[in-house]
Amino acid sequence: GENVEQHPSTLSVQEGDSAVIKCTYSDSASNYFPWYKQELGKRPQLIIDIRSNVGEKKDQRIAVTLNKTAKHFSLHITETQPEDSAVYFCAVPLTGGGNKLTFGTGTQLKVEL
């Protein structure tokens, strides 16, 4: 089955700095790469996703880059703010159709004042 590795597991940055989280996957047929943000006790919320026909997508301070050759994709958050503090999960579809997702192990991002 599909395997997703996510790094780092924890990330601490100063407010205003950038944060980068990287995920690698094993199935070269994967074509959809979402990122979810989960605050403590809350639901996972989709913050950005990218499909395999593009290499980069931006939405204000958030961007995702995809390298299909190397089978990795990264989340970039610029000008970090305290409200960005949360756990971030990458995901890729499991094999077999239906777009059921397998998630990375998460990155705890802490933005310090």
CB of 15 to other proteins, least distance (A): 25
User: Residue 109's Cα: distance from chain center in Å?
Assistant: 12
Residue 42's φ and ψ, nearest 5 degrees, are -115, 175
Given candidates 29, 69, 98, 113, which one binds other proteins under the rule CB under 8 A?
A: 98
Nearer to other proteins, 16 or 58 (CB): 58
* By CB under 8 A, residue 10 contacts other proteins: no
Q: Are 71 and 54 in contact (CB under 8 A)?
A: no
Q: Which of 112, 109, 94 is nearest to 37 (CA)?
A: 109
Answer yes or no whether residue 45 interacts with other proteins by CB under 8 A: yes
Q: Which stretch binds other proteins (CB under 8 A): 12-20, 35-43, 54-62, 64-72?
A: 35-43
What residues line the site for other proteins (CB under 8 A)? 31-32, 34, 36, 42-46, 49, 51, 89, 91, 93-94, 96, 98-106
